[in-house]
Amino acid sequence: MFLRTAPIRRRLMTIILVTCGAVLLLTCASFAVHEFFTFRQTTVANLSTVGAILASNSTAALTFENPGDAAEILSALQAEPHIKAASLYDANGHLFAHYPATLANDAFPNAPEQDGYKFTAGNLVSFQPVVYGTKRLGTLYLKSDLDAMTERLRLYGVIVALVVLASLGLAYTLSSRFQRQISQPILALTKTAQAVADRGDYSVRAPKIGDGEFVVLTEAFNWMLTRIHDGDSALRESQESLWSLNVELEKRVEERTCKLKEANKELEAFSYSVSHDLRAPLRAIDGFSRILLEEYADKLDDDGKRVLDVIRNNSQNMGRLIDDLLAFSRLSRKQLEASAVDMHSLASDVFTQLEPGLADQQIQFNLSPLPPVEGDPALIRQVFVNLISNAAKYSRPRPQSIIDVNGYYENGDCVYYVKDNGVGFDMTYAKKLFGVFQRLHSVEEFEGTGVGLAIVQRIVHRHGGQVWARAKLNEGATFFFSLPRENKQNGQLATIE
């Protein structure tokens, strides 16, 4: 945590000192361990040599059972200050003589142990055989302290501490001088970057300090600042140009919006005027044709009556076409009001409403549970009216018309479909279905103005959904439309043209 927040100079010096200290400590520790084990081996060798000499000199005393001579031989250990105790045991393991004489017998082992050497608490203990020829006469016991090793290790520790301190001092002096070669170029780059960040001035440049990679890094940094400065200047010019263009565009949009509003008002007035002006002659044509058929039927032959029927039918179709076009144009202006829609009840009501006009057909209407949705109930009702009416119309040639209405959830949307067993259509022409006045069958085959599916598409799109169809020629058709589960914006549906 300290290195993360410390200046780079301090980090470099800390890293150098820690590295040097770790290497020195590891090296000194290795030497100390080596010295420790070497001294132990030397101590064992020395004690083994002394023991071998004493064992050889004690053979006569043990042979002739002369404890006095044995004690005199052991007293020669006075020349070895580190040997604290020694004793001889006869062949039966009984204490025969000991050194120093001032120690009590219980200071020595009661009986000799297994031959060999072992380190105990601060001491080295050995048991060596006393042999004459092939006969074992007894055992020599020696006990030596390890004070010499302790003193040597203590001295070694002092030397290590002095060496480490001196090395760290030298490393600190050298690192404080040499770290500048690394820190100064980096600090220069840091100051330049800070100046750019504080003032947003990309014209400043970092000075070149040092050589090698630092020069390459500084040149690359300055080149990057140059590119950023050029890009910033170009961006500022583009922003100013864009701002001017945006102001001009907003002004144009405002002017066009005003003109569009005026044009819409004029178009709406024109639509109502045309509707009224077209309806009047159509009503006159239909009315006078009906009068001719009713009051002058006896003066007309069959061909004249047929011509009048054609005139009446075409004038009525023209009236329906005008009504559909007006309804289609009003969809773009009508504000949609959102509320929860019970789609199952809505589809059922629509079929009940259409059923009296379909009395000449045998219809099997299959309505499955439909998921509810948010939308404009009046307009969604119109979608079901157009789709169910089309299903009934195009399945009329069948002995029994079958109409299926169902729905399901898919990818966050509610999808509904109306399926029939009618004449169907070729999917090659499916793109023409939802265009105004686009028909895949002639008026003589099936009546209609070619606006109904265009109205369906406009309503569904305004709700944020999609509409599509699948069919096979003479095998029926299925019309799908999807609506978002929730499509409310401040209580009103989004208007999507």
Render 59-124 in DSSP notation, one character per residue: HHHHHTT-HHHHHHHHHGGGG-TTEEEEEEEETTS-EEEEESTTS-GGGS-SS--SSEEEEETTEE
**Over the stretch 232-259, which tens digit does the pLDDT of each residue have?**
777 778 888 888 888 888 888 888 888 7
Q: What is the predicted pLDDT for the residue at 165?
A: 85
d(CA 48, CA 58): 15
The stretch 23-50 carries a mean pLDDT of 84
Q: Give the SS3 label for residue 164.
A: helix
Closest by CA to 138, choosing from 91, 182, 100, 92, is 91
Residue 481 β-bridge partners: 416, 467
Q: What percent of the chain clears pLDDT 70, i.e. is strictly above it?
A: 78
Closest by CA to 465, choosing from 486, 435, 489, is 486
The stretch 121-147 carries a mean pLDDT of 88
Q: Over 193-243, what HEC string results?
A: HHHHHHHCCCCCCCCCCCCCHHHHHHHHHHHHHHHHHHHHHHHHHHHHHHH
Identify the band that residue 494 occupies on the pLDDT scale cut at 50, 70 and 90: very low
Contact between 141 and 110 (Cβ < 8 Å)? no
Quick one: how far is CA 350 from the chain centroid? 49
348 vs 265, residue with greater confidence: 348
- Mean pLDDT score of the chain: 79
Q: Over 5-69, what HEC string results?
A: HCCHHHHHHHHHHHHHHHHHHHHHHHHHHHHHHHHHHHHHHHHHHHHHHHHHHCHHHHHCCCHHH
DSSP state of 296: S
**Over the stretch 100-114, which tens digit does the pLDDT of each residue have?**
888 888 888 888 888
> Which residue ranges make up each domain of the chain?
2-175, 207-330, 336-493
**Which of 196-205, 290-299, 403-412 is most confident?**
403-412
Q: Is the pLDDT of residue 496 over 50?
A: no
DSSP state of 398: S
CATH superfamily of 2-175: PAS domain (3.30.450.20)
d(CA 288, CA 291): 5
Architecture in CATH of 336-493: 2-Layer Sandwich (3.30)
Give me the sign of the Cα torsion angle 46, 51, 56, 61.
Answer: positive
Closest by CA to 85, choosing from 126, 131, 138, is 126
Count of CB atoms situated within 10 Å of the CB of 474 = 11
Q: Do domains 2-175 and 336-493 have the same CATH topology?
A: no
Q: What is the predicted pLDDT for the residue at 371?
A: 92
Tokens of 92: 């039966």
**Over the stretch 229-239, which tens digit does the pLDDT of each residue have?**
777 777 778 88
Contact between 59 and 70 (Cβ < 8 Å)? no
